[in-house]
A and B are shown apart, each in its own frame.
Chain A
Amino acid sequence: MTDVVVVMRLAGDDADASKQDILALLEGVAGADVTDSSVDAALGMTAKELVLTVTISFATSVSANFATKAIEDALQGPLPDQVTVEEIFCETPSENDGTVEESPE
């Protein structure tokens, strides 16, 4: 299994609508399931911010590069206004303890 985690900044007044639009985009990726998502308020030095973190799981065995590219391509589509993709990275669960290890993109 391969997981891709996407971190986005949400601006604007309707974070929930933006989140739903993003999830719809990501759920359209072939072979992928959105397994976790949350909108969290980030504390900042000079400004508040909302951060959307989505985990997308590929059930079949695909390479980290393939999974990441598939998500990047999906996010090339029409993103809701004021959504900025900040980070996309791949992680593979450890076989031993259930923790995840980051793999470089």
Chain B
Amino acid sequence: MTMGEQDLETLTMIRVAGEFVIYVLFPGIDETAFAERIDWRHRDSVGLDAIISPWRKDRYRIAIGTAVPDLILSRLQAVNVEGETAARAERLGGIEPAMTLAWFAGVAFFATHEACHAAAGHVAYQKALNPETNTGDLPRPLDLATFRLLSELEADGAAAASLLSADYELMRTIEGLSSDGDDRADSAMMFIVIGVFATLELLASEGPVEDGYPTPETRYLNVVAAVFRHVAPNLLQLKSGDYVRREASDEEVQNVANRFRHSVLPALAALNHFDVTTPFGEDIAALLGGAVPNKSEAGRDLARYSRDRARFMRALSRFRETRMWDDFND
């Protein structure tokens, strides 16, 4: 697929994103056949719309709104591709295939977010609480509002990290994009990050946040944290159900800083989202350094939510569908 094709249909994009999640993304993460239990649908929409619900037997049904690809495409067409972003695009074969990668990553992020709700056990946990369908064997209690909120954040983070891990496979999906050679990983990361963050940014245009949902700004910062965990897993350690920064050598810190400088930071700059003079920008910088955000309201919210994370992990441990969260399980 390419971004400029006139006849590229929205439904095709949704279908290809679903197939990518089922046949490429999850089989690469997990050896179970979990993803084969997902049925993909599209449904008419004018906004950013996608849901996942329980389906027959142990299956899941994901419906992606038909407006999603076009909304993401419109946002990406306003991205400022110049400087290092343009240079990186050339290394991937040009701006056209590079931005198509960003577009596909954005749509795939939407699809993967929903699939992660199933993979993480959010849907099964919620079904277990449903008096119509529960078997009387209720999970450990977790406040439902907290569960909803942390579920969205976890699905966002897992989706972003999964896509970044599948960078090579994403690149191979795009026609005309060169997926071999030096420096491809950082170049691909730049455009995957552009697609994911452009999509997150669109959430802010959806109007007031529904009760129980994190704000778009908090979701944005949460995915920044996921990007850091992807790039620098060795700089973190698991403690009390969450990641904390560990002491690292100057060399390790420098290596990670260099990767960010040539991938994530120009991507955020292209989206006009990296102004370190604002509290939000300071929190982005803090998260990319593995620190706890505390300058903006969204950053403080994210830090506060993470305090419930261990309890959330324990409640969900028996509902996880894949082994992505094994490190956290009891």
Contacts and interface: CB of A to CB of B under 8 A. Distances in A.
Interface in B42-74: 43, 47-56, 61, 63
A39 B134 CA distance: 12
B210 interface: yes
Interface string B197-227: 0000001001000101100000000000000
B133 interface: yes
B151 interface: yes
Chain A residues touching B, majority SS = strand
Given A45-B49, A47-B210, A48-B210, A5 B56 contact: yes
Contact of A38 (B114, B132, B151, B155): B132
B50 A45 contact: yes
Given A5-B56, A38-B130, A39-B132, 7 more contacts: A38-B54, A39-B130, A40-B53, A42-B51, A46-B47, A46-B49, A48-B210
Interface in A44-100: 44-49, 51, 53, 86-87, 100
Contacts of B148: 43, 48
Contacts of B152: 43
Given A7-B61, A87-B41, A43 B56 contact: no
Given A40-B53, A86-B63, A46 B203 contact: yes
A24 to B, nearest CB: 18
A40 B51 contact: no
A43 B43 contact: no
Contact of A43 (B51, B132, B206): B51
A5 B49 CA distance: 23
Interface of B: 41, 43, 47-56, 61, 63, 110, 113-114, 117, 122-123, 126-127, 130, 132-133, 148, 151-152, 155, 203, 206, 210, 212-213
Contacts of A1: none
A40 B48 contact: no
Nearest to A44: B51
B210 A46 contact: yes
Contacts of A45: 48-51, 110, 113-114, 203
B52 A40 contact: no
Given A38-B130, A39-B132, A41-B130, A46 B61 contact: no
A62 B212 CA distance: 45
B54 A43 contact: no
Contact of B50 (A41, A44, A53, A87): A44
A40 B210 contact: no
A46 B113 CA distance: 11
Interface in A10-24: none
A44 B49 contact: yes
